[in-house]
Amino acid sequence: MNRRTPLEFDISVSADKKRRSKNRGSSGAFENSSHVCEAPGCELTGKYRAPKSPKNVEEFHWFCLRHVKDYNHKWNFFEDHSAEELEKQFRADRVWERETSPFIDRTDKNDIHQPEGRAWARLGLDDPYDMLSSAPNPDPSQTRLPEKRLPPSERKALGILGAPDTITKSELRKIYKELVKDLHPDRNSGSRADEERLTEVVWAWDQLKASRSFKS
């Protein structure tokens, strides 16, 4: 006898259809049914089942093919529903029977317990309607732009050259050349007092000249 382990159980669609077809025909009939059709005066075998009522779909009547068609034709899901139940069902159908809820409590714009109750505070506003107020716009010169992400060595090199991270490669080259010219001993009567500073400038340019963080 060939016995399958639970891990060998066939869960394919075709296997499921084959299992169900043993008890139920393709027309929905239960061929092995021993029920008698429940329609008055009918003595045929009740091979087809139908729910007893919209509120009781777990228990069934059994009919022959002719009488199950009659039963289904007269079926009215809302037959026993009150006006209130009908309205409730209609409201649920509008949202596919999924309850919805508002994202925020619009009666309290300052409620910090709401997910986005104080989202406007992240914009630096005193209240959520500041953008529509008559207050003057902030001075663009006072607005600090976010810093560019640079490696520590390039950030240090910019500091040595005294340049912002928004500078272009050609502007960096110009600053470098001017600094080298000013710090070179030939421009200072042979004095090597600025030799250490000159070394730093040369090092800084070496870090930045091949960098891809700056526009040409």
What is the spatial distance between Cα 33 and Cα 13, in angstroms, rounded to a whole number?
25
Give the range among 5-19, 120-134, 145-159, 196-210 with minimum mean pLDDT: 120-134
- Per-residue burial over 43-55, b = 16 or more CB atoms within 10 Å of its CB, e = otherwise: eebbbbbbeeeee
Q: What is the mean pLDDT of the chain?
A: 75
- pLDDT score of 19: 63
Structure tokens at 106: 């619009």
The pLDDT confidence band at residue 147, using thresholds 50, 70 and 90, is: confident
Which token pair is 195? 């030799």
DSSP 45: B
Predicted pLDDT of residue 38: 92
Q: Which of 46, 102, 94 is nearest to 71 (CA)?
A: 46
What was the pLDDT predicted at 32?
Answer: 85
The CA distances from residue 161 to 13, 146, 208, 212, in Å, are 72, 20, 10, 17
Instruction: Tell me what pLDDT residue 85 has.
Output: 74
What pLDDT was estimated at residue 110?
Answer: 52
Residues spanned by CATH 1.10.287 within the chain? Answer: 152-208
| Separation of alpha carbons 20 and 42, rounded Å | 28
User: What local confidence, expressed as pLDDT, does residue 203 receive?
Assistant: 93
Confidence of residue 104 (pLDDT cuts 50, 70, 90): low
What lies within 8 Å, CB to CB, of 29 at 6+ separation is 47, 48, 65
152-208 topology per CATH: Helix Hairpins (1.10.287)
Q: Name the least confident of 1-15, 50-64, 102-116.
A: 102-116
Q: What is the pLDDT of residue 56?
A: 76
3-state helix, strand, coil in the chain (%, to 5): 40, 5, 50
Give the C-alpha separation, 35 to 49, whole Å. 10
- The pLDDT of 3-18, averaged and rounded, is 63
pLDDT given at position 36? 92
Is pLDDT at 121 greater than 80 in this prediction? no
Per-residue confidence (pLDDT) for residue 37, from 0 to 100: 94
To the nearest whole percent, how much of the chain has pLDDT over 70? 61
Percent of the chain with pLDDT over 90: 13
Q: Is 209 helix (H, G, I), strand (E, B) or coil?
A: coil
Strands of the chain, DSSP E: 48-53, 56-63
Q: Is the distance from CB of 45 to CB of 64 less than 8 angstroms?
A: yes
